[in-house]
Structure 1
């Protein structure tokens, strides 16, 4: 196939593949946009339904609360009069007790004043700080305030008990008793007095109980505010209560109106019903203040491109107090996941097309290469066959000459030439036929024990004459203790023959060839090394291909079809062996063959 044809095929296939990829990309892009819009609509619809459901749940709970309240109200009204009577009776009882306590105080005070000529009241904190304390008792002083006439009335002398010196923090009174300084005589210049304590004017505990009971009674006696409004406006009390309850409910903090657990559960259910199965970040705002937040994704939690918001409690009398916001940082992954059933076949088809394109190009180049190699093979084979045929023809024509026919020595030499050339021609034909059999995989190999050392020596003896012609040298190092393998002796000898023959042919100077053997755990390793021209790494990777020959430019001093090493590789592979090559340009080549040792030879 011409280069222009190959270039045209590659161009058309590339154009077709690019067109398919462009169409798939456009289709995927449009599908992604549609899926994204559907995702947005589904999320918004879910949030609106949940917001409405939350508001309805609140109204339902309010209705249930009102029903319960009405039932309780009726029961309370039945007990209201009974409780009021009980409270009034209890208050009267306590007031009687309080009056008795006050009378006891008055009696004690009158008795104290009758026993002592002069009695002065003392503050309990002053008593605890100065009079009771030995440390500060000496600071206590008594002062007389002379009597005077006020509005034609004469007021008697009064006495003050006080402390001198720097002020001291007063100690808190330990009880509510009433304390007096009782002077022992009426001489004011004599300050002998004693401290007397009597019960308080009233019982504080009883006073507190009376005050609490009076407060409860006022609450019981107070008219219901809603009833009053209903009476004034001529409306039903239940209607007024519901309106007022709704008004009061709207004034509650958003935190008390939203249950985060219920909200999250309802959102998950609503999204799942719309085929959106994913976690999300959640925020609830009251005006501009964050009330609740729950973050599953820690990255890009405030990604505005993937944020969705809706108002909460839009039915409130005042403006809606709350806003619910959801974030889906994994929105792209969710959409792609939903498109998986679409993407997988398209991507698979694209890879199939690319694979077919690559396989087609590889096949075209391989066939082109094989075609070139076969053309070279035919040229080489024609040249290799032409030389012996021409030699045989010349020798045959010489035999027809009567003068030459008469010379027996010349006839014998010509006959030997014809025989040698026929043998050479037969060898070429046999080599080609063996390769053909390998290609058809109908070559049958024997599986018999073969002694490699003996076989190696036999091959070297048969090639000794060929080596002597080029002044070459053989060296053997047959160190393997076990050299028995299972294989075909004929084809194994051909393998060694090809490797040694190549070592001789590809040496610029006098060839030096070394054959070695050694054992590993369960294998026999054979190496054939030379110091010939060697080859580059690029050629070592291809020398086992059929018809491949290392390019030599216009120099054709080494004859062959490029089939020898291919035959060697196939035979070794069929006998469960491996072959590796190590070579360096102008320094030589080494082939290493590994065979498993025959089991019965251990």
Structure 2
């Protein structure tokens, strides 16, 4: 899979996942808003019923108290009679129809002390309606067109009750100055709210209060707070206005709303989580496949890279032996033959490096360690590269300032560590390789520094230089600082020796690898 196709696929999958999460969040938020609207409508509907019930209860109590004053035996203090007469002509039947509507209004005085109002007494009107329908033949009318008092047909309908107009006019005006706590109690309000809210399906604890304008009255619950409260006017006057407002709030309102859509939230989170896991797994597998493909290519390049140094050393040694001046010098011939043998062993060891790294990562590689002098390991490692360094007119200088250099190490592996660092220093020096090796004691540790004056690397590359198969691409496949099988192996071995390795580098000014190992007594 090409890099562009891979990036496009990842971007599309990421956008799809983000879109799914966004849609889920939108629907959850929308559902929460709908629940909030439904809750608000239910509460407001319940409050309107409570307001109505409070007023009707007050009116019923008012009627009960007035009933003894409104029976038929009581004599009115005054009587007012109003009469309306309407006449209609029936030409077909030669008749005249007269409609009379008589209104008898009786006024009663009731002691005000009984109702706790600021007046000596107040009046209540009792109305009685009398309707009369009279039909006359036109022949019965006298010459002046007046009705003759003969054959009168009379129908009566009367009603004896306190008209509702009493409540809508005089009753409301009468009680508007009475203190609110004398008109309704907190217990009444709480009972009505309980009933109406349950009827609306709101089974939630609440707090309430009645306010007069912006001032709280005595009619309220103990823990009422006006924040996020719902309100409705009560005791409306004849102009449909009132200074009293009943407020109710729900301390657990948010929990209640969330609980109403909790199942949907849980399912959304579960399904979204499954999608995220599947997405992450798919991306991981794609990345792994790309890494495996890249590793296959890198493996070949790495092995070629790792074999270059021993092959170059063997070639130089063979060329030297062919020299007539050298072939007769038995000591030099033996020296070069030893180099060839050592480098051949080193090539064989490099073949095993991949397996070693894998085992190190799984903690399956048991490395036997013994007491060794670090200075001896450094000297041995230098012999593996000195021929190449001499051929390029460079040098490797040692500056052993450490008084104690005894460490617990594996001779073969740790020698390879130093050889790998020296090898990188040689390969990444465009000019003659100039390498300085330092040691010093700091506390119970020995510090080994290998400094070169080569190409160096950027800080960003230096942070990743010990990653497996990491390469700094510069257009040349072999021009790579911190190559996988080299420095990744170095880091694993140093850590297995309870040590620490780091690098300090600057582009164009060389690099310094620093190894810290614990000393043994």
Any idea what SS the aligned residue of 2:464 has? coil
Q: 2:401 touches 2:439 (CA, 8 Å); kept in 1?
A: yes
Any idea what SS the aligned residue of 1:580 has? strand
Name the structure 2 match of 1:324: 245
Name the structure 1 match of 2:395: 472
Name the structure 2 match of 1:582: 504
1:292 aligns with 2:213: no
What CA distance in whole angstroms lies between the structure 1 residues aligned with 2:280 and 2:216?
57
1:513 aligns with 2:440: no
User: Relative to structure 1, is the Cα distance of residues 525 and 560 closer, same or farther in structure 2, using a 3 angstrom cutoff?
Assistant: closer
What CA distance in whole angstroms lies between the structure 2 residues aligned with 1:381 and 1:228?
114
Name the structure 2 match of 1:424: 343
Q: 2:32 touches 2:258 (CA, 8 Å); kept in 1?
A: yes
Any idea what SS the aligned residue of 1:547 has? coil
User: Relative to structure 1, is the Cα distance of residues 12 and 468 closer, same or farther in structure 2, using a 3 angstrom cutoff?
Assistant: closer
Bigger mean CA deviation after superposition, 534-543 or 415-424: 415-424
Mapping 1:256-275, distance limit 5 Å: 256-257=181-182, 274=202
Any idea what SS the aligned residue of 1:541 has? helix
1:436 aligns with 2:363: no
TM-score where L is the length of structure 1: 0.52
What CA distance in whole angstroms lies between the structure 1 residues aligned with 2:282 and 2:29?
30
What CA distance in whole angstroms lies between the structure 1 residues aligned with 2:380 and 2:313?
30
Name the structure 2 match of 1:47: 47
Name the structure 2 match of 1:361: 283
User: Relative to structure 1, is the Cα distance of residues 374 and 428 closer, same or farther in structure 2, using a 3 angstrom cutoff?
Assistant: farther
Structure 1 alignment gaps of length 5 or more: 71-223, 231-235, 237-242, 302-306, 397-403
What CA distance in whole angstroms lies between the structure 2 residues aligned with 1:268 and 1:498?
84
Mapping 1:50-449, distance limit 5 Å: 50-51=50-51, 54=54, 250-253=175-178, 255-257=180-182, 274=202, 284=211, 289-292=213-216, 296=225, 308-313=230-235, 321=242, 323-324=244-245, 326=247, 335=257, 339=261, 341-343=263-265, 345-347=267-269, 349-350=271-272, 353-354=275-276, 356-357=278-279, 360-361=282-283, 363-365=285-287, 367-379=289-301, 381=303, 423-440=342-359, 441=362, 442-449=364-371
What CA distance in whole angstroms lies between the structure 2 residues aligned with 1:527 and 1:409?
38
User: Relative to structure 1, is the Cα distance of residues 274 and 317 closer, same or farther in structure 2, using a 3 angstrom cutoff?
Assistant: same
* Structure 1 position 563, deviation (Å): 0.8
* Structure 1 position 374, deviation (Å): 2.9
**Structure with the largest fraction of strand:** 2
1:526 aligns with 2:453: no
* Structure 1 position 569, deviation (Å): 1.0
What CA distance in whole angstroms lies between the structure 2 residues aligned with 1:387 and 1:575?
26
Between the two proteins, the alignment pairs up a number of residues equal to 416
Bigger mean CA deviation after superposition, 355-364 or 567-576: 355-364
* Structure 1 position 310, deviation (Å): 2.7
Structure 2 alignment gaps of length 5 or more: 69-119, 127-159, 161-166
Any idea what SS the aligned residue of 1:430 has? helix
Q: RMSD between aligned alpha carbons? A: 5.7
Name the structure 2 match of 1:165: none
User: Relative to structure 1, is the Cα distance of residues 549 and 387 closer, same or farther in structure 2, using a 3 angstrom cutoff?
Assistant: same
User: Relative to structure 1, is the Cα distance of residues 531 and 254 closer, same or farther in structure 2, using a 3 angstrom cutoff?
Assistant: farther
What CA distance in whole angstroms lies between the structure 1 residues aligned with 2:353 and 2:269?
46
